Amino acid sequence: MTASMQGTEPPIWLRLPAVAGIVTILAVLKLAVASHTGLSFDEGYYTLWSRRLAAGYFDHPPAVAFLIAAGRSLLGDGVPGVRILAILCGTGICAALWRVGVLLLDRRAAALAVLFYALSPASGLGFLMTPDPPSALFWVATIWAVAEVATSGRGRWWVPVGIFAGLGLCSKYTDAFIAPGILLFVLFTGSERRWLKRWEFWSAGFVAALIFAPVFWWNAQHDWASFLFQGQRTEGSIDPNASGNLTELLAGQSLFMGPLLVVLAVGGMVGFAFMARRPGWSGLGLPVWTTLPGIVYFLWHTLHARVEANWLIPLWPPLCLVAAWLLLALWRRKTWLGVGLFALQALFGVTLTGAIYAQALWQPWDFGGADRTNETRGWPELQRELSAAAAANGAHWIATAGSFALTGELSTYFAFANDPLPVRQVDEPMRWDFLPPLDGDALGWPALFVTTTPDAAARLFGQSRQVGAVTRLGGRDRLETYALFLVSDPTSAFNTALGK
């Protein structure tokens, strides 16, 4: 950026007090929405994890479970406790992104990048407690520590690089892509290549591996279950719908981050490829190189399977910095163009995020089965109905099958209600390895079997009698109806389902 541009006073909305105020207001808004909406399917499942902390789980590394457990210890059993640290992760992402921008570029670019991210729908949905908030936080924190190395020349910063990278791996395996990105940055940045001969650089990998070691050990003790579950997504031949997967990837990123932000980020990366040696542009090296391996992988992934929009979330904070730098370059030439593009991006993010919040809170629109906010509705009422049905029929526990979402939500909402009635799924044993082995005789018979497939009752239990049905309601919609069976005398199919 030119000296004249750096010397001009930024508009008030790009100064640190204004940016910090906006981030704080958005965090308070997210907390309000988070406190008045129910848990999504995944959140209910992860909250069950948090009651049995382990070094690993079938689906993901354990960080999300530990964060939920910490949040529950702060705010108690309830939705705010589950989600509070997801919101704080979002605030931490903005703080780390600001510092990276100041170190590598300037305060104006840092402020614009933070606003780009904070006003995006992806950030707006960051109150959901999934592996994504800690994954994104530790990704950008790792970049921050590398930026400190690059600007200060102090090798001691490589230890925090390893700490943050290791914690990122404990959050989501996607964070593994930052390691080759850092290596690319060091290899292709002349001033940083010297670190290849220094022990401090290699110590970062050692520290990260040490932090990740318990997760690796858990996988080794469980037939590599979590690694294989995530790795199976790209097994097999080329998907005939590969072009559709790519289109879906681009559309998903445009919705999560905003189409203008996607265009600016791609444009900034292209600009860096041609102008990396020019003053100012060299500062984009770290965010570009560290995101490149992840981008290449997900493009390759589309050849084999779909890419969910949220999978790229850790890459977006540094990409916001790239986008901000390109917008400021346009701003320098045409102020009205820079301000106009930012206003359009902000309007898109605020409008879409606001619409999602409104739908989650009040359901003003009827999207039918496509409405993902329906995941959050009707669980407290369903828990009370099932508790009453179990008591009326003398059931000692609630059995489920074939739905981790149902099992997780029921277990969590029974715990929220301080109801001790156990909820256990009678199949997919690897998914429930963190729980004590299921022993129906110890829990006591009969059990109340809750299912959307009534024929499963006769297959799994020698004695089954339907005692009713319950429906999970969501505003105007009847979301899902469950048949209730009083069951006992488990069959050989029951034992097979449990892996016995």
pLDDT (tens digit per residue) in 384-417:
999 999 999 999 999 999 999 999 999 999 999 9
Q: Are 166 and 212 in contact (CB under 8 A)?
A: yes
Q: What is the pLDDT along the chain (500 residues), one digit of tens a residue?
A: 333 344 567 889 999 999 999 999 999 999 999 999 999 999 999 999 999 999 999 999 999 999 999 999 999 999 999 999 999 999 999 999 999 999 999 999 999 999 999 999 999 999 999 999 999 999 999 999 999 999 999 999 999 999 999 999 999 999 999 999 999 999 999 999 999 999 999 999 999 999 999 999 999 999 999 999 988 766 668 889 999 999 999 999 999 999 999 999 999 999 999 988 887 889 999 999 999 999 999 999 999 999 999 999 999 999 999 999 999 998 888 888 889 999 999 999 999 999 999 999 999 998 888 899 999 999 999 999 999 999 999 999 999 999 999 999 999 999 999 999 999 999 999 999 999 999 999 999 999 999 999 999 999 999 999 999 999 998 778 999 999 999 999 999 999 988 87
Please report whether residue 367 resides in a domain. no
Distance CA 64, CA 170 (A): 9
End-of-domain residue from the set 301, 329, 362:
362
Domain count, the chain: 2
Q: Are residues 356 and 277 in the same domain?
A: yes
Residues 342 and 432 in one domain: no
Residues 358 and 427 in one domain: no
pLDDT of residue 223: 93
- Residue 462's Cα: distance from chain center in Å? 42
CB 461 within 8 A of CB 451: no
Q: Are residues 344 and 440 in the same domain?
A: no
Asked, for residue 166, whether it belongs to a domain, the answer is yes
Among 297, 331, 362, residue at a domain's last position: 362
What confidence score (pLDDT) does residue 235 get?
61
Do the Cβ atoms of 427 and 497 come closer than 8 Å?
A: yes
132, 124 Cβ separation under 8 angstroms = no
Strand partners, 469: 483
For the beta carbon of residue 351, count every other beta carbon within 10 angstroms: 11
Task: Select from 335, 362, 389 the last residue of a domain.
Answer: 362
Please tell me whether residues 388 and 322 are part of one structural domain.
no
244 within domain boundaries: yes
Does 493 map to a domain?
A: yes
pTM equals 0.95
In this structure, the answer to whether residues 10 and 143 fall within a common structural domain is yes
Same domain, 338 and 399: no
- Closest to 308 (Cα-Cα) out of 259, 253, 382, 261: 253
Answer whether residue 369 is part of any domain. Answer: no
Tokens of 99: 């510092």
Tell me, rounded to whole angstroms, the distance of Cα 457 from its chain centroid: 35
Closest C-alpha to 448, from 405, 481, 482: 482
Same domain (yes/no): 317, 435: no
Confidence (pLDDT) at 233: 67
171 with 32, same domain? Answer: yes
Rounded to whole angstroms, the maximal C-alpha distance in the chain is 82
Is residue 397 in a domain?
A: yes
Q: Is residue 371 part of a domain?
A: no
Could you tell me if residue 370 is inside a domain?
no
Please tell me the distance from the alpha carbon of residue 290 to that of residue 314, in angstroms, as a whole number. Answer: 11
Both 328 and 399 in one domain: the answer is no
116 & 24 share domain: yes
Domain assignment of residue 442, given as a range: 377-497
> Does residue 445 share a domain with residue 319?
no
Q: Please check whether residue 101 is in contact with residue 109, taking contact to mean a CB–CB distance below 8 angstroms.
A: yes
